[in-house]
């Protein structure tokens, strides 16, 4: 059966009628941006999904009894990968759009609003963030969940992720301020046993920590004790607030202690010393950049550390960070990084005979997909349209008013597109957005819950 890429709800019903493991979907005639270094961009290509897996990419693929979707005029691309977002804050999004510095954010959000959150507020915020991510083409999101005041708060955040169908990493950390049960990090064992018993599931677990004890004290700061806990559990570590002189010293200390490596992600990484970057590159540590957060909030140098990362041999992932002050989508992150780095490169060479060293649209799309997956410890699972990987993909309408005509597929994804152009999102082979609409969401009920939670959080006295 042949249908168009903006296929009808009847086609969706036909796809979902089969058990998930027995589904076969064949996209034909698309421009396929694989982000696989060996496959590149395929003009008028086909892609076959069987169950939860991409099984073939190329030309003239036989689909057998598959539902065949004519994707002519569309781009198939890997789903974006967000390597760091504080999802629980989503009902407070853009409440402080002009925050002047990190201290303003910390005081208002972490020392204020966070302290009154109930488990149901964790659930609502995390669910809203995850559904918004899916709508904007983010198929994998690392939720840096640093408001785990009780076991129930952690459970609510995890259950919200499960309910949306997003591929997610729950990175668990205790709160910065206010009363809490001090169950973290001990509760990680229970969390893993209850929710993360299988290696073949949509959710994975990481330990979250801060770089130093400057903001919230030593209990949340990464070091040998937390590294040992993560090693015992067999999970990775994501370290936030990595910036400045104190973090540079911490990075060197971690390298000396043997607790810095490929399973450790350092978030932001602005204002670090050359020695710290050398240690990060030598140990294979991964980096999550937050382009709009660094620039808009003004973290240390306020310049995303892309040049430093590349010089150290690190290709970073990208992240959204805090929706209380920033945009929610990956298109904004890619464009911000692309523009800022190229501006700096040309400015540095201005008035000299040096050739500016500029990143490309391919680079930033690589950071937002394949490198993001690697940063989240999921390089073998997602991040590219490679046969054998899970079917996390986007259908982007390249002949929409703001995109036509299609001249350069990667340029169109990075510089031309936005969430309205994403007609379809598959996660693990399951349709999660179809005909431009996020599926399986009672929007009026969600809206009511979001407004009720926001009202409570803004009016409850800080603990």
Read out DSSP for 168-182? EEEEE---SSS----
Express each pLDDT in 234-278 by its tens digit.
999 999 999 999 999 999 999 999 999 999 999 999 999 999 999
Which of 270, 244, 245, 230 is CA-nearest to residue 377?
230
Question: Number of C-alpha atoms within 13 angstroms, CB side, residue 358?
Answer: 15
CA distance 415 to 239: 30
Read off the pTM: 0.96
Residue pair 160/130 in contact (Cβ under 8 Å)? The answer is yes
pLDDT of residue 3: 41
Whole-angstrom Cα distance, residue 90 to residue 98?
17
Copy the structure tokens of residue 423: 């007609």
d(CA 240, CA 228): 18
Which domains, ranges and CATH numbers included, belong to the chain?
2-78+384-438 (2.30.40.10), 80-375 (3.20.20.140)
DSSP string for 42-94: EEEEEEEEETTEEEEEESS---TTPEEEE-TTEEEEEPEEEEEE-GGGGGGTT
Q: DSSP code of 263? A: T
Q: What is the pLDDT of residue 294?
A: 96
Q: Where are the beta strands (DSSP E) in 233-285?
A: 236-243, 264-270
The Cα-based distances of 446 to 103, 129, 391 in angstroms read 31, 12, 27
Residue where the block lists tokens 């940063």: 375
Take residue 273 and report the two structure tokens written for it. Answer: 């010393």
3-state secondary structure of 424: strand
- In this structure, the dihedral spanned by the alpha carbons of residues 191, 192, 197 and 200, taken in order and rounded to 10 degrees, is 110
Average pLDDT per consecutive 10 residues, the chain (463 residues; last block may be shorter): 58 92 96 98 97 96 92 98 98 96 94 97 98 98 98 98 98 97 97 92 97 90 98 98 97 98 98 98 98 95 97 98 98 98 96 95 98 98 98 98 98 98 98 97 98 97 80
Cβ contact 54:370 at 8 Å: no
Alpha carbon distance 30, 33 (integer Å): 9
pLDDT at 7: 60
Phi, psi of 39 (to 5 degrees): -105, -30
For 263, the token pair is: 């399973």
Neighbouring C-beta atoms of residue 333, cutoff 10 Å: 26
Over its C-alpha atoms, the chain yields an Rg (Å, rounded) of 22
Q: Which residues of 365-379 are buried (b: 16+ CB within 10 A; e: fewer)?
A: bbbbbbbbbbbbbbb
What six digits make up the tokens of 72?
Answer: 């002519």
Q: What are phi and psi of 210, to 5 degrees?
A: -100, 160
Contact 176, 220 (CB under 8 A): yes
- For 129, the token pair is 């963030």
Q: What is the pLDDT of residue 462?
A: 78
How far is residue 292's CA from residue 206's CA, in Å, rounded to a whole number?
Answer: 24
**pLDDT for 1:** 35
Helix, coil or strand: residue 195: helix
């Amino acid at each position: 059966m042949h249908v168009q890429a903006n296929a009808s709800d009847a086609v969706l019903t036909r796809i979902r009628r089969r058990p998930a493991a027995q589904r076969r979907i064949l996209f034909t005639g698309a421009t396929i941006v694989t982000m696989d270094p060996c496959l590149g961009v395929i003009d008028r290509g086909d892609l076959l999904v069987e169950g939860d897996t991409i099984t073939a990419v190329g030309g003239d693929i036989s689909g057998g009894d598959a539902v065949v979707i004519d994707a002519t005029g569309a781009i198939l691309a890997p789903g974006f990968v967000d390597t760091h977002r504080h999802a629980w804050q989503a009902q407070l999004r853009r409440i402080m759009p002009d925050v002047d510095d990190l201290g303003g954010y910390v005081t208002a959000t972490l020392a204020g609003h966070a302290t009154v959150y109930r488990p149901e507020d964790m659930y609502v915020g995390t669910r809203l963030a995850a559904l918004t991510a899916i709508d904007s083409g983010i198929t994998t999101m690392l939720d840096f969940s640093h408001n785990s005041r009780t076991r129930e708060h952690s459970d609510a955040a995890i259950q919200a992720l499960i309910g949306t169908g997003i591929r997610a990493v729950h990175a668990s950390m205790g709160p910065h301020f206010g009363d809490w049960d001090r169950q973290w990090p001990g509760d990680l064992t229970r969390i893993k046993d209850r929710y993360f018993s299988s290696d073949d599931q949509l959710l994975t677990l990481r330990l979250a920590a801060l770089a130093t004890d400057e903001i919230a004290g030593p209990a949340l700061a990464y070091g040998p004790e937390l590294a040992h806990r993560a090693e015992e559990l067999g999970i990775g570590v994501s370290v936030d607030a990595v910036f400045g002189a104190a973090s540079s010293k911490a990075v060197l200390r971690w390298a000396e202690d043997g607790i810095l490596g490929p399973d450790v992600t350092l978030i932001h990484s602005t204002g670090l010393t050359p020695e710290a970057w050398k240690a990060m590159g030598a140990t294979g540590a991964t980096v999550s950049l937050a382009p709009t957060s660094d620039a808009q909030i003004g973290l240390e140098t306020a310049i995303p550390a892309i040049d430093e990362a590349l010089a150290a041999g690190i290709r970073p992932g990208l992240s959204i960070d805090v929706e209380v002050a920033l945009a929610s989508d990956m298109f904004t992150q890619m464009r911000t990084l692309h523009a800022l780095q190229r501006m700096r490169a040309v400015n540095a060479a201005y008035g000299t005979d040096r050739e500016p060293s500029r990143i490309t649209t391919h680079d930033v799309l690589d950071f937002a997909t394949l490198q993001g997956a690697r940063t989240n410890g999921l390089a073998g699972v997602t991040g590219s349209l490679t046969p054998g990987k899970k079917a996390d993909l986007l259908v982007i309408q390249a002949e929409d008013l703001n995109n036509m005509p299609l001249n350069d597929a990667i340029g169109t994804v990075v510089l031309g597109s936005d969430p309205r152009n994403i007609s379809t999102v598959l996660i693990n082979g399951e349709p999660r957005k179809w005909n431009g609409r996020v599926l399986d969401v009672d929007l009026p009920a969600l809206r009511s819950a979001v407004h009720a939670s926001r009202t409570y959080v803004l009016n409850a006295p800080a603990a």
